[in-house]
């Protein structure tokens, strides 16, 4: 079993919808949680970074971490066609190795 499991998708939503992307993990040592966005033929781009449990908001994006349930989420409000990409969750226990989910591909239709 993988350390990080990500909802596989693909996900297709209409423009303006609220999108929920989710990952679960098994390693209780993970303390640092990240979400990346990857457009086709590009490298991943850091969207959100969270330490430990709680919520973090940045514009239309909200990251949630529930360490007791080993569950993290990324919410996108008022989704736009430009949000169409693959979203990767990533986690780490400390400096050094990051473990990534396999990614969820999102399409936002105009």
Interface positions, 13-32, toward other proteins (CB under 8 A): 32
| 1 versus 97: smaller Cβ distance to other proteins | 97
| 20 versus 31: smaller Cβ distance to other proteins | 31
Hey, how many other C-beta atoms are within 10 angstroms of the C-beta on 26? Answer: 11
Binding-site member from 12, 26, 28, 98 for other proteins (CB under 8 A): 98
Query: Which of 107, 74, 70, 108 lies closest to 88, judged by CA?
Result: 74
| 99 versus 107: smaller Cβ distance to other proteins | 99
36 binds other proteins (CB under 8 A): yes
Closest contact distance (angstroms) between CB of 82 and other proteins is 19
Block residue for tokens 């303006």? 16
Q: Please give the C-alpha separations between residue 24 and each of 13, 59, 81, 90, in angstroms, as whole numbers.
A: 22, 24, 27, 11
Give the strand pairing for 11-14 and 104-109.
parallel
Site string for other proteins, 39-78 (x = CB under 8 A): --xxxxxx--x-----------------------------
Considering CB under 8 A, how many residues would be counted as binding other proteins?
Answer: 22
Q: How many CA atoms lie within 13 A of 70 on its CB side?
A: 12
């Amino acid at each position: 079993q993988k350390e990080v499991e990500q909802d596989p998708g693909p996900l297709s939503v209409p423009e303006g919808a609220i999108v929920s992307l989710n990952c679960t993990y098994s390693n209780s040592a993970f303390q640092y949680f990240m979400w990346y966005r990857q457009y086709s033929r590009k490298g991943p781009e850091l969207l959100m970074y969270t330490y430990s449990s709680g919520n973090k908001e940045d514009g239309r994006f909200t990251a949630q971490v529930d360490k007791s349930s080993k569950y993290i989420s990324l919410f996108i409000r008022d989704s736009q066609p430009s949000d169409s990409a693959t979203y990767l969750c990533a986690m780490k226990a400390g400096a050094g190795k990051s473990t990534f989910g396999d990614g969820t591909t999102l399409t936002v239709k105009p």
